[in-house]
């Protein structure tokens, strides 16, 4: 941990945070083969934690709290925030991460990722306090999508034989395609409220199903092909499954910056007021027209 420079501007802190995330990505990836088992512990949301979750959390925690200008670090896998030194909102930033989103995919060797939000306010805060957000996708290629004031870009992360890590931009000004192609909805159909089931029946006649069980992978398909991803409110779990601070807010920020929309069913995700840092929220995110229809269907 280092003392923050109070006059450090958002851009340079954001850049340093995503450098730190990119630097750790190859190390996380390389460590996964031996960490496909449960760790035997539960996280703050009461979910079983995989060995890979713990490893990614520790590595990212060390790298992010060492960034000059990060005042606080919060993770889906940690009960409380880590004080990294410096007053958040007064020159220092709070970083929230889901270290390994979709880690239940470790067993079946399917895609997963890391989600990152950089907030200019102490957490919990609304998504309006985000100054940048991004995610790493551990697919056949390790990519990182970053959104900030300047827009959304996709980068490829590569490690050279000497161990050095590079970030290369492969797409600038990423925007959602106008003609949506894919959808992916989480949860079991019998657990969906009737109004959402009716909406899903319409959507499945129009779009192709692409659901992989990792929000990052599924949202990346929506960003690439256009469409809608949801982890909806469930009859017995009206808040759904995903966490506002670590998952929904960063994803909403990215998709909105790419010209799309994100809602909890009524309210723009970025306006949802959190009570605690581990709060859950229903998430419906994708092309504006599809999200608007969803809001009407749930009304």
Contact between 182 and 210 (Cβ < 8 Å): yes
- Contacted entry of ligand AHM, Mg ion, none for residue 158, CB cut-off 5 to 8 Å set by kind: none
CB nearer ligand AHM, residue 63 or residue 216 = 216
- Contacted entry of ligand AHM, Mg ion, none for residue 103, CB cut-off 5 to 8 Å set by kind: ligand AHM
231 among annotated binding-site residues: no
Residues that bind ligand AHM in the complex, under the rule CB under 6 A: 47, 98, 101-104, 186, 213-215, 231, 241
- Contacted entry of Mg ion, ligand AHM, none for residue 120, CB cut-off 5 to 8 Å set by kind: none
- Least distance CB 98 / Mg ion (angstroms): 4
Using the rule CB under 5 A, which residue among 53, 57, 98, 148 binds Mg ion?
98
CB nearer Mg ion, residue 47 or residue 158 = 47
Strand partners, 75: 97
- Least distance CB 51 / ligand AHM (angstroms): 14
CB nearer Mg ion, residue 71 or residue 113 = 113
256 contributes a contact to Mg ion by CB under 5 A? no
**Is the bond preceding 124 in cis, omega lying within 30 degrees of 0?**
yes
- Least distance CB 247 / ligand AHM (angstroms): 7
7 to 68, 88, 93, 213, 278: CA distances (angstroms)? 11, 12, 12, 41, 30
297 to 173, 216, 242, 282: CA distances (angstroms)? 31, 25, 21, 15
208 among annotated binding-site residues: no
- Least distance CB 257 / ligand AHM (angstroms): 20
Question: Long-range contacts made by residues 13-16, C-beta under 8 angstroms, separation at least 24?
Answer: 13/67, 13/68, 13/69, 13/70, 13/93, 13/118, 14/93, 14/118, 14/131, 14/132, 14/148, 16/67, 16/68, 16/69
Q: Report the greatest alpha carbon distance in the chain.
A: 56
CB nearer ligand AHM, residue 101 or residue 155 = 101
241 among annotated binding-site residues: yes
Using the rule CB under 5 A, which residue among 53, 57, 77, 101 binds Mg ion?
101
- Least distance CB 115 / Mg ion (angstroms): 7
Sheet holding 283-286: strands in order across? 208-209, 182-185, 227-231, 283-286, 261-263
Contact between 258 and 201 (Cβ < 8 Å): no
Nearest residue to 95 (alpha-carbon basis) of 259, 249, 295: 249
Residues in the annotated binding site for substrate = 101-104, 211, 241
Applying CB under 5 A, which residues contact Mg ion? 98, 101, 247
């Amino acid at each position: 941990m280092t003392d923050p420079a109070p006059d450090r501007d958002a851009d340079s802190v954001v850049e340093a945070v995503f450098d730190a995330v990119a630097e750790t990505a190859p190390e996380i990836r390389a460590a996964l083969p031996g960490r496909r088992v449960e760790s035997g512990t539960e996280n703050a949301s009461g979910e079983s934690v995989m060995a890979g979750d713990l490893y990614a959390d520790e590595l990212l925690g060390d790298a992010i709290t060492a960034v000059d200008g990060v005042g606080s670090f919060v993770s889906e896998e940690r009960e409380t925030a880590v004080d990294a030194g410096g007053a958040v909102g007064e020159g220092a930033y709070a970083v929230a991460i889901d270290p390994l989103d979709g880690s239940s995919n470790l067993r079946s060797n399917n895609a997963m990722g890391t989600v990152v939000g950089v907030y200019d306010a102490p957490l919990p805060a609304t998504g309006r306090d985000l100054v940048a957000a991004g995610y790493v996708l551990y697919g056949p290629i390790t990519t990182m999508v970053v959104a900030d004031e300047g827009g959304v870009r996709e980068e490829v992360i590569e490690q050279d034989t000497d161990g050095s890590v590079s970030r290369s931009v492969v797409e600038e000004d990423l925007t959602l395609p106008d003609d949506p192609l894919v959808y992916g909805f989480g949860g079991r159909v019998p657990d969906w409220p009737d109004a959402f089931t009716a909406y899903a029946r319409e959507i499945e006649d129009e779009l192709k199903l692409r659901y992989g069980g990792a929000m990052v992978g599924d949202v990346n398909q929506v960003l690439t092909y256009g469409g809608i991803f949801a982890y909806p409110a469930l009859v017995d779990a009206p808040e759904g499954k995903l966490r506002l601070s670590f998952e929904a807010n960063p994803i909403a920020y990215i998709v909105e910056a790419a010209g799309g929309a994100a809602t909890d069913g009524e309210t723009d995700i970025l306006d949802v007021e959190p009570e605690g840092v581990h709060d859950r929220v229903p998430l419906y995110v994708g092309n504006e027209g599809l999200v608007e229809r969803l809001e009407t269907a749930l009304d």
